[in-house]
């Protein structure tokens, strides 16, 4: 370990353990399903990951759920849940950690560790790979692919192919491969999407072609980030840019009182401590490549796990990692029993600390991230005042009426959509939506000239011209114009939650306004009214 | 001025982004003194945008409040809405508000003043939906803090001592007849009253909301145009 640190110029041997389709594996494990069934995890109506059996039937990532179902009749669908994927990964990490020292989790499904020491110990890299596969199969029943190469990126690519690249040959191994392999360089997907897009359009289709461009030119066009990607593509990636011992003042710890023993409180704790770590790193002008997550339970059990940080380090990413880790510990499972008591102290310890400038992205994104962090801190402050659930953010779903289309999700939770907004919704209202949705809806009447209630028939026809809208507490309002009724016949198959109503846009006269003074500008109000069985209510107010 | 037209010409090339535009993007809205607003309501405002640190009261139209948030949030600014539990956010999205940068605190309760103060620290725009729940001394403190941090306070309802007041006077809807059509647009008359030089009220006609496409803002108009106005 020390010898390798000293000879920093030589790229280190790295082993990557990759569990293919981890989200699907996690979903199947949670549901107790067999991995040989066709399974897919879905988010916003799109397939995020699928099992081998599903892939054999033609299901692919990014496919619409409907198309996937059409290709594979027996497809079992689960919702994408990163928390579940993170929590269930902990037993896998524990099993790997028995064989490898200094294990780092890149994301749920991917583990990286230095290879040379353990390989010498078991008698070679091939033997190490076999032992790892064996170990995982025996302890967790998870099948994994192992890759060993010089540097993380080459090892990651090797793991996706299940090969071991001999020392010094990473560049040759990478050269003929598609440039889009660079998607695997960092933890999440899509960090380098823009760079890759430009390279692709420039006609640089393989990693080899990319590396023929001098690093200097790449650095001058794409900055330090581009240079880092270029080094990775050449197989000359260094473990760290310039490592410094972590200063003890960068460690953040938090005493938890009452102890955290439930998964739902873990999320809140994670956000708070991640925000503090981020603020501390920023104030020291540094960034960290890896961090250790330490937890101490009431019975003095010490739990430690090292995670590789997504670059650039953001509060949200760190909070997610802390949350996944806490959930992994709290849920136990696999070979690991859950701790005997709640967690009373949580500590985040940055491990490889580098000057922030070395990792900074271009300035525009940096100010963007700045604003996000500033806003995030303010909102965490408000959550502290009012409670976690008091701060929300709106998400637009699919649906017909204004009430079901907008939903408030708690700030910091996933903004995923329940129903695709793009899907056809027969009877959906046209796209000027009411700006105010009174809750509860004021009850009232819509009457014709004779004073009788207007009703909408089952065939969605209106029986008389609306003349007045009468709402409790409002003056009666003469109707100036009205639309055709939109039928809403949702869930007619269900006996309980069936909604049967018709909606109508009406424009009513509010009379000449006092502010305007003259009769030339009468004031009009537009309302969305809904009729259920002859009773009317105001569902929305326009403008 | 020559620079401005040159950069407009460059920007019209699509893929090309000029250094000036990058600088504008960085300065605006993160540090620019004026937050941009939609092109169709920019003429209504004395500075062509929302001056940072100012307080603006809007009377009678939620759509107008939403429209004021649209351009700034779409360009990366952060906004929060406090004490407006009945907003229709589908309409907000239609008016151009970037919902992923909008935080909503529907029920601040008795902590309203502290919540607003906390939000001013991190947000570029803070909308107060129930300003009547604040007493005068709290209002003064909140305004001072907003001025200090450069946050725009948007009050939906009466607010003492505002920098700009927009009052909905009347509206006329189009697109619907007797049992046919649907709401397409509204012409409304808004009274604008400022402070100091803009103290004389004037009436402005605005089309809001509308199904017709809103004219795209000229890249240069909201940023440097606003800054020019701020210096004047």
| Predicted complex ipTM exceeds 0.90 | no
Kindly state whether residue B187 falls inside one of the protein's structural domains: yes
Do A417 and A341 share a structural domain? no
pLDDT band at B174 (very low <50, low <70, confident <90, very high): very high
CATH number of the domain where residue B173 is located: 3.40.50.300
- Examine the domain organization and report whether A373 and A398 are in the same domain: no
B7 occurs within a structural domain: no
> Do A252 and A377 fall within a single domain?
yes
Identify whether residues A297 and A404 lie together within a single domain. no
**Using the beta-carbon criterion (under 8 Å), do B102 and A393 form an inter-chain contact?**
yes
Contact B180 A390 (CB under 8 A): no
Compute how many other C-beta atoms are within 10 angstroms of the C-beta atom of residue A253.
13
Indicate whether A322 and A377 sit together in one domain. yes
Q: In chain B, which residues have their Cβ closer than 8 Å to the Cβ of A391?
A: 103-105
Indicate the number of domains in chain B.
Answer: 1
A462: chain B residues, CB-CB within 8 Å: 179
The answer as to whether B183 is a domain residue is yes
A269 & A348 share domain: yes
Residue A252 covered by a domain = yes
Looking at the fold, whether A406 and A488 belong to one and the same domain comes out as no
Output the 3-class SS for A459-518.
Answer: CCCECCCCCEEEECCCCCEEEEEECCCEEEEECCCCCCCCEEEEEEEEEEEEEECCCCCC
| Out of A415, A481, A505, closest to residue B100 by CB | A415
Whether residue B185 lies inside any domain: the answer is: yes
Residues A14, A153 contacting (CB under 8 angstroms): no
- Determine the angle formed by the axes of helices A82-97 and A125-140, rounding to 10 degrees: 120
Sheet holding A406-410, edge to edge: A406-410, A392-396, B102-105, B79-82, B125-128, B152-156, B55-59, B164-176, B181-194, B202-210
| Closest CA in chain A for residue B122 | A375
What confidence tier does B220 reach under pLDDT thresholds 50, 70, 90?
very low
* Same domain for A371 and A282: yes
pLDDT in tens, A83-100: 777 778 888 888 888 888
Please check whether residues A263 and A353 belong to one and the same domain: yes
Chain A interface, best mutation among B119, B149, B173, by max A CB count within 10 A: B173
Nearest residue, CB atoms, B89 vs list A374, A396, A462:
A396
**What's the confidence (pLDDT) of residue B218?**
45
Answer whether A435 sits within 8 Å of B124, measured CB to CB: no
Cβ-Cβ contacts under 8 Å between A and B: the total is 199
Q: A364 and B92 in contact by Cβ < 8 A?
A: no
Q: Which of B120, B169, B181 sits opposite A521 (nearest CB)?
A: B169
Instruction: Let me know if residue B188 belongs to a domain.
Output: yes
pLDDT on residue A340: 78
Question: Do B188 and A439 count as a contact with CB atoms less than 8 A apart?
Answer: no
Position A185 confidence tier, pLDDT thresholds 50, 70, 90: confident
The residue of chain A nearest to residue B91, with distances taken between CA atoms, is: A433
pLDDT at A217 over 90: no
Sign of CA dihedral A273, A276, A280, A285: positive
The mean per-residue pLDDT over the stretch B52-79 comes to: 93
Please check whether residue B189 lies inside any domain of the structure.
yes
> Do A274 and A372 share a domain, yes or no?
yes
Query: Domain for residue A47, yes or no?
Result: no
pLDDT (mean) for A4-28: 73
* Domain extent for A421: 391-425
* Polymer length in residues for chain B: 232
Chain A residue numbers touching B118 (CB-CB < 8 A):
378, 381-382, 385
Q: How many domains does chain A have?
A: 3
Which 3 state secondary structure label does DSSP give B49? strand
Q: Are A101 and A113 in contact (CB under 8 A)?
A: yes
Q: How far is B35 from chain A (nearest CA, A)?
A: 14
Burial of A519 (0-12, 13-18, 19+ CB in 10 A): exposed
The answer to whether B63 touches B91, Cβ cutoff 8 Å, is: yes
CB contact under 8 A, A516 and B61: no
Mutate to test the interface with B, among A202, A221, A375 (most CBs of B within 10 A): A375
Residue B71 has pLDDT above 70, yes or no: yes
Asked if the structure places residue A10 within a domain, the reply is no
Report if residue B174 sits inside a domain. Answer: yes
The reply to whether residue B103 touches residue A411, judged by beta carbons under 8 angstroms, is: yes
Please give the pLDDT value at position B13: 42
Q: In which domain, by residue range, is B138 found?
A: 31-231
User: Does the residue A66 lie in any domain?
Assistant: no
User: Is it the case that residue A181 has pLDDT exceeding 60?
Assistant: yes
Residue A103 lies in a domain: no
- The pLDDT, as a whole number, for residue A203 is 86
A85 falls within a domain? no
- Residue B37 falls inside a structural domain: yes
pLDDT grade, residue A363 (50/70/90)? very low
Contact B181 A411 (CB under 8 A): no
């Amino acid at each position: 370990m020390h010898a390798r640190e000293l000879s920093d110029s030589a790229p280190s041997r790295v082993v990557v353990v990759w569990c293919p389709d981890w989200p699907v594996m996690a979903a199947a494990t949670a549901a107790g399903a067999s991995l040989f069934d066709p399974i897919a995890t879905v988010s916003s109506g799109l397939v995020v990951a699928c099992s081998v059996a599903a892939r054999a039937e033609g299901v692919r990532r990014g496919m619409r759920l409907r198309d996937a179902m059409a290709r594979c009749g027996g497809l079992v669908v689960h919702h994408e849940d990163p928390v579940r994927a993170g929590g269930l990964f902990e037993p896998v990490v524990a099993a790997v950690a028995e064989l490898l020292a200094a294990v780092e989790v890149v994301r749920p499904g991917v583990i990286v560790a230095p290879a040379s020491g353990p390989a010498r110990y078991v008698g070679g890299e091939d033997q190490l790979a076999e032992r790892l596969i064996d170990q995982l199969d025996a302890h967790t029943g998870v099948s994994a692919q192992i890759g060993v190469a010089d540097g993380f990126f080459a090892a990651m690519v090797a793991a996706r192919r299940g090969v071991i690249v001999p020392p010094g040959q990473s560049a040759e191994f990478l050269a003929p491969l598609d440039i889009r392999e660079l998607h695997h360089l960092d933890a999440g997907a899509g960090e380098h999407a823009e760079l890759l897009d430009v390279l692709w359009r420039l006609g640089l289709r393989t990693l080899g072609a990319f590396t023929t461009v001098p690093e200097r030119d790449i650095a001058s066009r794409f900055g330090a980030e581009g240079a880092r990607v270029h080094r990775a593509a050449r197989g000359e990636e260094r473990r760290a840019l310039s490592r410094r011992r972590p200063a003890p003042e960068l460690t953040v710890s938090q005493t938890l009182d009452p102890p955290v023993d439930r998964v739902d409180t873990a999320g809140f704790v994670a956000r708070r401590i991640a925000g503090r770590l981020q603020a501390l790193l920023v104030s020291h002008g540094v960034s960290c490549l890896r961090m250790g997550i330490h937890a101490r339970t009431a019975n003095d059990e010490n739990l430690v796990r090292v995670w590789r940080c997504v670059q650039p380090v953001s509060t949200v990413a760190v909070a997610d990692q802390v949350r996944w880790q806490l959930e992994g510990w709290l849920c136990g499972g696999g070979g690991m029993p859950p701790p005997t008591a709640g967690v009373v102290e949580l500590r985040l310890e940055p491990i490889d600390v580098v000057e922030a400038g070395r990792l900074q992205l271009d300035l525009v994104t940096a100010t963007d991230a700045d604003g996000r962090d500033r806003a995030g801190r303010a909102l965490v402050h408000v959550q502290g005042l009012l409670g976690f659930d008091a701060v929300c953010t709106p998400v637009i779903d699919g649906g017909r009426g204004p009430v079901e289309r907008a939903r408030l999700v708690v700030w910091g939770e996933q903004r995923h959509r329940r129903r695709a907004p793009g899907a056809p919704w027969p009877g959906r209202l046209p796209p000027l939506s009411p700006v105010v949705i009174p809750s509860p809806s004021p009850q009232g009447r819509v009457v014709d000239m004779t004073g009788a209630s207007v009703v909408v028939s089952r065939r969605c026809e209106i029986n008389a011209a609306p003349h007045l809208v009468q709402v409790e507490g409002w003056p009666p309002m003469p109707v100036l114009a009205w639309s055709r009724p939109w039928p809403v016949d949702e869930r007619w198959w269900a006996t309980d939650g069936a909604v049967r109503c018709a909606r109508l846009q009406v424009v009513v006269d509010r009379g000449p306004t006092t502010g305007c003074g003259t009769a030339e500008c009468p004031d009009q109000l537009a309302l969305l009214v809904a009729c259920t069985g002859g009773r009317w209510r105001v569902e929305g107010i326009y403008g | 001025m020559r620079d401005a037209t040159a950069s407009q010409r460059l920007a019209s090339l699509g893929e090309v982004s000029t250094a000036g535009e990058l600088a504008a993007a960085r300065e605006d809205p993160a540090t620019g003194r004026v937050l941009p607003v939609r092109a169709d309501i920019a003429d209504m405002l004395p500075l062509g945008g929302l001056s940072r640190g100012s307080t603006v009261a809007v009377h009678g139209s939620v759509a107008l409040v939403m429209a004021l948030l649209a351009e700034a949030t779409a360009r990366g600014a952060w906004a929060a809405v406090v004490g407006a539990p009945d907003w229709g956010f589908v309409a907000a999205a239609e008016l151009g508000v970037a919902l992923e940068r909008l935080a909503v605190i529907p029920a601040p309760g008795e902590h309203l003043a502290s919540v607003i103060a906390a939000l001013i620290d991190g947000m570029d725009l803070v909308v107060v939906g129930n300003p009547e729940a604040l007493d005068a001394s709290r209002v003064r403190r909140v305004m001072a803090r907003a001025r200090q941090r450069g946050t725009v306070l948007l009050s939906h309802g009466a607010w003492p001592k505002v920098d700009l007041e927009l009052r909905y006077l009347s509206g006329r809807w189009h697109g619907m007849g007797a049992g046919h059509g649907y709401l397409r647009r509204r012409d409304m008359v808004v009274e604008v009253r400022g402070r100091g030089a803009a103290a004389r009220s004037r009436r402005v006609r605005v089309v809001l909301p509308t199904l017709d496409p809103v004219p795209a803002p000229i890249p240069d108009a909201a940023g440097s145009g606003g800054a020019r106005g701020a210096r004047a």
